[in-house]
């Protein structure tokens, strides 16, 4: 215990005096307030009952009884049952409190001095008689369960212009094409067309690269599994006794999982040694393999439109015009506006509609059933950004787009996130692995949650247990946050002159050299340069730099593209271990911290 919790005091419990010290210690503890919990109404189910529907026995009305905590619970708001999704409420009842602070006392008619307190079991038996309906849902005021925008496939289509629109466009072009020039007296309009401006017409080679926008083939280079086989080392043979213990140990080892983990460790080590470097493929032209990538003069200052080339999934999500002001307005209404509904501390029964029968079966197994009321818009899907730091108790490599289990505020869901650097710029570099030294930003498609909210990241093991891999907090709900993936192509100087060099092995065809000619080059030793011209047909190219190259230097080319998370959101996350009914049920799942 002292090893796991070094800052906490360790108390013994052998004598009555030590027991008294423990009770005083517990009595003086202060509950830590969680902001996301204090702003929402929540309820821990004390009892649950399921009423099957008329059409389908697998879906019906769930009656949850418990004490209201946090805020006033309104029947028109949505209810989120942790691990099962969002639902609507029909009505809220006020049954008799099974554990009242001041029990009812019944005095005997024969002997007024005798009194009897009503116990909790008697109170439960009298519930049906004392049930009062507090509120019923109003269909006009009830929140909708719509989580996604239904995209219109014809929304981006363009109709054929009419004759009036064509004539207006021609007139507009004629007005724009009129240019005022200074010409000698007596010059005709025909002669004025041939007189050039002082600035002249200069077209840069960099314009060729502005049209590089085609379909994406693959985000990462496919690795050839049949590349090179490691030579088997020769060992000296000798006779040893059989070990039963080793055989039993080998039976528990999953060789396939071991091979996958070894490959991930190798990839993580290569990423640390050569960040973002990839080999140019020889079977596919580089201009096709990297056709959606672009070059940037400066990653920090070069412009990039956040609305450019958005995926189809962005038509399904919601975006705020001003998320900060919306969040501030909703929180202000919670503090100032008096809501109608069940007050904090009341014992109520919630009638939740369209709930699957698996929810009550989950509760009967002994697992806690926790329900949270949702704030406006919190059922709608968007892009969530969370800042997380790697937990020191877990050292396994975690790759981007790998399926993880999220505990974000009151929600628990499964998703495949992107990792990116946590910076103040408008563009953020994509990270292929969850590093242990710095905090990173995790980006996923998930329902809107208003910060502040704590975040826990778990990974499900092969035995079903959940391992904690990172902790953090919710940063923002912003689909315009750009995650930029970088790939680095490397070449080697072949012949070096004063400020010129012949570079090879970056490309393997003349067409690829001409295609990437506008992109700036750099070296590992800090030189910058450009491609002058291709040499031959095998990808050699003449390059100029701002200084003389060293023979051991490496020439690099940075290419960038924007990446988006995968739509893998799943709100139904099974429990890591089977629950056991006990006297006191824990509200948190059992976690393998190792």
- The whole-number mean pLDDT for each consecutive block of 10 residues of the chain, a chain of 594 residues, reads 74 89 87 81 91 85 92 90 89 87 59 47 49 84 84 66 81 68 67 53 38 38 41 44 54 71 72 75 89 90 90 90 90 84 90 90 87 91 93 86 91 93 91 88 94 91 86 93 93 88 90 92 91 90 89 90 93 63 39 40
pLDDT value of position 148: 83
Domain borders along the chain are 35-101+129-150+341-379, 277-302+486-562, 312-338+380-483
The Cα–Cα gap between 517 and 508 comes to 14
- Torsion angles phi and psi, residue 355, rounded to 5: -105, 135
Helix (H) or strand (E) holding 111: none
CATH architecture of 35-101+129-150+341-379: Beta Barrel (2.40)
SS3 label, residue 372: strand
Domains 35-101+129-150+341-379 and 312-338+380-483 share a fold: yes
CA dihedral 512, 516, 518, 520 (to 10 degrees): -130
Please state, as a whole number, how many other Cβ atoms lie within 10 Å of the Cβ of residue 334.
Answer: 14
Residue 96 pLDDT: 87
Cβ–Cβ under 8 Å, residues 311 and 564: yes
Question: What is the pLDDT at residue 232?
Answer: 41
Of 322, 330, 321, residue with least CA distance to 374: 330
- Take residue 219 and report the two structure tokens written for it: 């985000």
Q: What DSSP character marks residue 141?
A: T
Cα gap 363→81, rounded to integer Å = 11
- Please give the Cα distance from 522 to 560 (Å, whole number): 15
**Rounded distance between C-alpha atoms, residue 97 and residue 119, angstroms:** 11
State the Cα–Cα distance between residues 433 and 402, nearest whole angstrom: 10
Q: How far is CA 313 from CA 142, 401, 426, 562, in A?
A: 27, 16, 22, 15
Give the model's pLDDT for residue 238. Answer: 46
Predicted local distance difference test score (pLDDT) of residue 444: 95
**Cβ neighbours of 289 (radius 10 Å):** 18
Give me the pLDDT at residue 239, please.
45
Long-range contacts (CB closer than 8 Å, 24 or more residues apart) made by 532-536? 532/500, 534/510, 535/502, 536/510
The residue assigned the tokens 């929402």 is 40
Residue 333 to residue 77: CA distance in whole angstroms? 14
Reference 318, options 199, 556, 136, 148; nearest CA is 148
Helix then strand count (H, E) for the chain reads 12, 25
Q: Parallel, antiparallel, or unpaired for β 79-81 and 85-94?
A: antiparallel
The domain over range 312-338+380-483 is classified in CATH as 3.40.50.970? no
Q: Which residues pair with 447 in a beta bridge?
A: 381
How is 18-63 classified by DSSP, letter by letter? HHHHHHHHHHT--PPP-HHHHTS-EEE-SEEEEEE-SS-TTEEEEE
Residue located via tokens 């001041």: 102
Instruction: Reply yes or no: is the peptide bond before residue 118 cis, omega within 30 of 0.
Output: no
As a whole number of angstroms, the distance between CA 389 and CA 434 comes to 9
Domain 277-302+486-562: CATH superfamily is translation elongation factor selb, chain A, domain 4 (2.40.10.190)
Length, in residues, of the chain: 594
Residue 440 pLDDT: 94
**Backbone phi and psi for residue 254, each to the nearest 5 degrees, phi listed first:** -95, 105
């Amino acid at each position: 215990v002292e090893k796991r919790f070094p800052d906490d005091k360790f108390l013994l419990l052998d004598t009555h005096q030590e027991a008294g010290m423990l009770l005083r210690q517990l009595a003086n503890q202060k509950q830590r307030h969680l902001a996301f919990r204090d702003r929402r109404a929540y309820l821990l189910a004390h009892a649950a009952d399921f009423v099957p529907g008329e059409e389908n026995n697998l879906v019906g009305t769930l009656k949850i009884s418990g004490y209201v905590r946090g805020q006033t619970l309104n029947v028109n708001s949505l209810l989120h049952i942790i691990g099962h999704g969002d639902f609507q409420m029909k009505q809220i009842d006020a049954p008799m409190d099974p554990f009242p602070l001041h029990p009812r006392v019944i005095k005997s008619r024969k002997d007024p001095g005798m009194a009897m307190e009503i116990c909790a079991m008697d109170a439960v038996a009298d519930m049906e008689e004392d049930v009062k309906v507090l509120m019923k849902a109003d269909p006009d005021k009830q929140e909708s369960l719509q989580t996604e925008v239904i995209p219109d496939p014809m929304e981006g289509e363009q109709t054929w212009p009419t004759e009036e629109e064509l004539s207006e466009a021609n007139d507009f072009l004629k007005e724009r094409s009129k240019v005022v020039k200074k010409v000698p007296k007596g010059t005709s309009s025909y002669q004025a067309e041939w007189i050039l401006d002082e600035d002249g017409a200069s077209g840069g080679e960099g314009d060729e690269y502005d049209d590089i926008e085609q379909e994406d083939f693959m985000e990462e280079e496919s690795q050839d599994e049949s590349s090179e086989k490691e030579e088997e080392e020769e060992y000296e043979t000798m006779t040893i006794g059989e070990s039963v213990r080793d055989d039993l140990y080998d039976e528990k080892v999953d060789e396939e999982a071991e091979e996958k983990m070894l490959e991930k460790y190798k990839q993580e080590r290569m990423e640390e040694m050569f960040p973002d470097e990839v080999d140019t493929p020889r079977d596919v032209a580089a201009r096709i393999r990297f056709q959606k990538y672009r070059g940037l003069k400066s990653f920090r200052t070069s412009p990039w439109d956040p609305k450019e080339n958005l995926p189809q999934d962005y038509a399904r999500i919601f975006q705020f015009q001003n998320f900060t002001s919306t969040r501030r307005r909703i929180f202000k209404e919670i503090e100032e506006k008096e809501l109608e509904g069940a007050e904090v501390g009341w014992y109520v029964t919630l009638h939740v509609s369209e709930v699957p029968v698996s929810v009550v079966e989950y509760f009967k197994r002994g697992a806690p059933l926790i329900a949270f009321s949702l704030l406006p818009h919190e059922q709608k899907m968007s892009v969530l950004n969370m800042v997380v730091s790697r937990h020191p108790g877990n050292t396994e490599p975690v790759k981007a787009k790998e399926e993880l289990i999220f505990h974000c505020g009151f929600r628990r869901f499964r998703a495949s996130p992107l990792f990116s650097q946590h910076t103040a710029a408008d563009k953020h570099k994509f990270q292929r692995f969850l590093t242990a030294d710095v905090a990173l930003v995790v980006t996923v498609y998930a329902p809107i949650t208003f910060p502040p909210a704590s975040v826990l990241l778990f990974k499900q093991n092969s035995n079903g247990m959940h391992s904690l891999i990172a902790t953090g907090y919710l940063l923002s709900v912003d689909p315009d946050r750009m995650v930029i993936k970088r790939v680095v192509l490397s070449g080697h100087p072949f012949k070096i002159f004063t400020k010129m060099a012949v570079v090879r092995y970056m490309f393997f065809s003349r067409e690829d050299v001409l295609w990437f000619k506008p992109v700036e080059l750099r070296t590992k030793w800090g030189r910058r340069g450009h491609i002058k011209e291709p040499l031959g047909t095998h990808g050699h190219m003449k390059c100029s730099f701002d200084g003389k190259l060293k023979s051991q230097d490496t020439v690099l080319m940075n290419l960038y593209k924007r990446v988006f998370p995968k739509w893998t959101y799943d709100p139904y996350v099974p429990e890591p271990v089977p629950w056991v009914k006990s006297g006191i049920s824990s509200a948190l799942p059992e976690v393998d911290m190792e």
